[in-house]
Amino acid sequence: MARRFRFSGVPGGGEADPWFRIGTLDVTTTMFVTLLSATMLVVYAIAPGFFDLFVLYPSQVWSSFEVWRIGTWPLTNGISIWSVISIFFFWYFGSQLEGTLGRTKMANLLVWLTLTLGILAVLFSLAFQSVSPIMAGLSTVQLVIILLFIAENPHIRFMFDIPGWLIAVVFVGLNVLSFLGARMLIDLLNFLVGLGVAAVVARSVGLLREYHAVPDLAFFRHRAAQPKQRRTRGSSGSVVSGPWAGSSNQSTSDRAKLDALLDKISEGGMDSLSKAELKQLETLRRRLRGE
């Protein structure tokens, strides 16, 4: 009986490729975090005590040196409809951003976003000698991802023709009013400063190129390596290519072209591509996925 699911690597290392596949499921950076977050829902149901070890309690970090909490808090989603909605929206908008950034820069964005927001929470807690702000769940990262997607696509329209900027204002405004209503002033300060830090991290991996007021640290951007050109020799030193070389050479060429387009998007956003380049981008993606 043939197995329906298999774990397999993906040939090549193009930024448009998934990290690996589970059966026919492409596990990209966004999909990996989505699956991990969904798995943690099961962990919460089976072992709540173990689950609690991943929540970011700042006092536990600076008093008990449980530093792993700084990087694990986005995975601590309790079982609720809001957790499911957060995971879904993270996957949907995260996939859109990853299509612009590529898998490596998306991973850099998520890792540094998690660490910087976690460290910021610990610093505020230490400065004010407070047990808050406690951080848990994907909702904060999901909100940042949505705001970044809207910032990258300022003219986008959502359901009922609502402009993206209005959705962003509502989301941020609701969080601010929530913190004010609960008199959680330290959490409010952490939230607002956290949004600023998130903007710096995002620009440093290639987003928000049109927002010049945001500092650009550029600690992860790099240009895609240009494929080396093979020099041809005379008949005495030439190598005859067999018919099997065509598909391999084509795949390498497609991957190089796709990486070049992704690099251009990272530098100038989607608007930097011409209509022909946008069409070429979609064609290359489909061809490399075997569609």
The model's pLDDT over 126-156, given as tens digits with 9 standing for 90+, comes to 999 888 889 999 999 999 999 999 999 888 8
The model's pLDDT over 53-98, given as tens digits with 9 standing for 90+, comes to 999 999 899 888 999 999 999 999 888 999 999 999 999 999 999 9
Identify the bridge partners of residue 20 per DSSP, sorted by sequence position: 9, 27
Which pTM was predicted? 0.71
Helix (H, G, I), strand (E, B) or coil at 102: coil
Residue for token digits 């956290």? Answer: 194
Is it the case that residue 244 has pLDDT exceeding 80? Answer: no
Domain coordinates of the chain in residue numbers?
Answer: 20-204, 254-288
Of 118-122, 228-232, 272-276, give the range with the top mean pLDDT.
118-122
Q: Lowest-confidence range among 203-212, 237-246, 257-266?
A: 237-246
- Cis (ω within 30 of 0) for the bond into 11? no
More confident residue, 254 or 37: 37
The model's pLDDT over 114-127, given as tens digits with 9 standing for 90+, comes to 999 999 999 999 99
Contact between 207 and 148 (Cβ < 8 Å): yes
More confident residue, 211 or 274: 211
Q: What percent of the chain has pLDDT over 70?
A: 79
Q: Lowest-confidence range among 81-85, 180-184, 287-291?
A: 287-291
More confident residue, 277 or 242: 277
Q: Work out the widest C-alpha separation in the chain, in whole angstroms.
A: 82
Query: For domain 20-204, which architecture applies?
Result: Up-down Bundle (1.20)
Contact between 50 and 12 (Cβ < 8 Å): no
